[in-house]
Amino acid sequence: MVESLVESSKVTAVEGMEYFLRNFSFVPDDKLTWTPAPTAKSAIRIAAHTALYAGIFAQMMRDRKLPFGDEIPAFVARNEAAETMLIDRAEMERVFRRNTDAVIDTLDDLTPEAIDIVFDAALGFSVPMRRLMNMPGWHATLHAGQIDFLQTCWDDQEIYF
């Protein structure tokens, strides 16, 4: 059962990344930084966030630790700053692939005992490692939907198969 959970988590991480990158590939260069509102995120910012968080999820699984309590504001600020620095399409894809490889390697290294860990998220809920294992793929798919929405905002009504 542990092997099937690890294998399915690896598959969803890679499939989520590939699905996101496929959708993102249809963003024209002139729309990479476009936003529908001043406070909204652009396609490249969403892509940077998604690419970087694959590595963050790998690190959380590897370190067996989520950001906690007073660490959270600095954690968020650090990651937002990193997102703003990743503005090149090709570099974002390289980072995303490298971080997804880190997810795969980390999943391969999880012991049955580690898979049974439940993290206190310090926000009134807990996060089982089993959920964190599926987070990279789910997260990428979630943000692919944001890219789809942005495309409709600039009147790209094409359905890409």
H-run or E-run covering 29: none
Cα atoms found within 13 Å of the Cα of residue 143, Cβ hemisphere only = 26
Give me the mean pLDDT over the 96-117 stretch. 97
Angle at 156 between CA 153 and CA 161, to 5 degrees: 125
What is the per-residue pLDDT across 19-68, written as a single tens digit (0 to 9) for each? Answer: 999 999 999 999 999 999 999 999 999 999 999 999 999 999 999 999 88
Please name the amino acid found at residue 14.
V
Give residue for tokens 């880190």: 102
What domains can be seen in the chain, in order of their start residue?
2-153 (1.20.120.450)
Look at residue 20 in the predicted model and tell me its pLDDT: 98
* pTM score: 0.93
- Separation between Cα atoms, residue 6 and residue 14, nearest integer Å: 12
The answer to whether 50 touches 104, Cβ cutoff 8 Å, is no
| Alpha-helical runs (H) found in the chain | 2-24, 43-63, 71-85, 89-109, 112-115, 129-153
Task: Kindly report, residue by residue over 122-157, the tens digit of the pLDDT.
Answer: 777 789 999 999 999 999 999 999 999 999 999 888
Q: Are residues 135 and 148 in contact, defined by beta-carbon separation less than 8 angstroms?
A: no
Residue 161 has pLDDT above 70, yes or no: no
- Of 133, 137, 88, 134, the residue nearest 111 (C-alpha): 133
Per-residue pLDDT tens over the stretch 89-104: 999 999 999 999 999 9
> Tokens representing 158?
């094409």
Task: Decide if pLDDT at 83 tops 90.
Answer: yes
DSSP-assigned beta bridge partners for residue 128: 118
What is the rounded CA–CA span in Å between residue 101 and residue 14? 9
